[in-house]
Amino acid sequence: MGVRTRTILVALALAAGQPGVAQAHLMATGMGPIYDGVIHFGLSPEDYLPVIALAFFAGLRGSPTVRRLLWVLPMTWLCGAIAALAGLSVPAGPLSWTTPVMFLVIGGGLAANLEISETAAAVVAAAFGGLRGVADISGVNASLPHLASLAGMVASAVVVFAIAASLALPLKRPWMVIAMRVSGSWLAASGLLLAGWVWRYGTQIAGS
C-alpha cells in the first residue's frame, strides 16, 4: 500500500469517526458519546464479565487463540450492534437468555479448561460478540444515540480483553491457572442463578 493510499485511508477513517467540528478540548462536557459507550461497558457486568472470562480462556489456550479472538470479538460485536441499529430486532424473551447462557458456556469452558480448537473458540466469541451487540443496542437504544458510543463500548471490550488475556498468557504456575479456572466456575454459577431467575421471572432481568 502506497503512502498516498495510506494517507487517504487514515483521513477517511478520521472523517467517518468525527462527530462534528474538531474540538481540541471537550472540557468537562458530560464526557461525550465515546465515554458514554465506555461507561456503559464498565457498568454492564453482563458485558465485561464474559469478556474477561473469554480472555482468560483464550490466554490459557495460547497467544494464537488470543490474537484470533482479539479481532473476532469486536468485529462480531460491531456487526451485531449495527444490525440492531439497522432494524434487526430479537424478541425480549430469547434475548433475556443470552446473558445466562453465555455466562454458563464461557464460564463453564474456562472452569473446565476445555481443550477446544482455535476455530471453536472463535465461534463462541463470535456468538457472544454478536448477541451482546444486538442486546446492547436493543436494551439501551436511548443511551447510545451515536455510533461513537458504540465505538467507545467496543473499544473498551478490546482493551479489557487484551489486558485480561495478557494476564493469562504468561501463567506458568499451576495454582494461578487454578485461580483463573475458579473465576470461570463463579461465572458459570452466576449463569445458573441468572438462568433460574429468567426462568422464574421472565424478561425483567439478566441485563438484556
Partner 1 sequence: MRRRAAALALLFGLLTGRSAVGHEVRPAYLEIDQTGPATYSAIWKQPVMGDVAIHLVPHLSNGWLDRPPVDQYATGGFLIRQWKQSAAQPAPLQGATVSIDGLQDTITDVFVRIRLKNGEGVDTIVRPEAPQFRIDLKAGAPTTISAFLLLGVEHILTGPDHLLFVLGLLLIVRSRWMLLKTISAFTLAHSLTLAAATLGHIQLSTPLLNALIALSILFVAPEAVRAARGGTSLTIRYPWIVAFAFGLLHGMGFANGLSTLGLDKSALVGALALFNIGVEIGQLAFLAVVLALIRSFRLMQLQWPRPVAAMPAYAIGALGAMWTFQYGAVVLGII
Write out the residues near partner 1 by the rule CB under 8 A: 1, 3, 6-8, 10-11, 13-15, 18, 20-32, 35, 63, 66-67, 70, 159, 162-163, 165-166, 169-170
| Nearest C-alpha neighbor of 85 from the set 18, 148, 13, 158 | 148
| Nearest C-alpha neighbor of 155 from the set 81, 53, 59 | 81
Contacts of 139 (CB under 8 A, 6+ apart): 95, 207, 208
C-alpha cell at 176: 494461578
C-alpha cell at 12: 477517511
Distance of CA 6 to the CA centre of its chain: 29
CA distances from 99 to 9, 33, 131 (A): 37, 25, 9
CB nearer partner 1, residue 40 or residue 208: 40
CB nearer partner 1, residue 34 or residue 150: 34
CB nearer partner 1, residue 2 or residue 87: 2
CB nearer partner 1, residue 9 or residue 193: 9
Rounded to a whole number of angstroms, the minimum distance from the CB of residue 136 to partner 1 is: 20
CB nearer partner 1, residue 89 or residue 166: 166
Rounded to a whole number of angstroms, the minimum distance from the CB of residue 155 to partner 1 is: 11
Q: What is the DSSP letter of 173?
A: S
Name the residue with cell 468537562. 28
**For residues 60, 65, 66 and 71, what is the CA-based torsion angle, rounded to 10 degrees?**
-160
CB nearer partner 1, residue 165 or residue 187: 165
Kind and range of the H or E run holding 79? helix 63-85
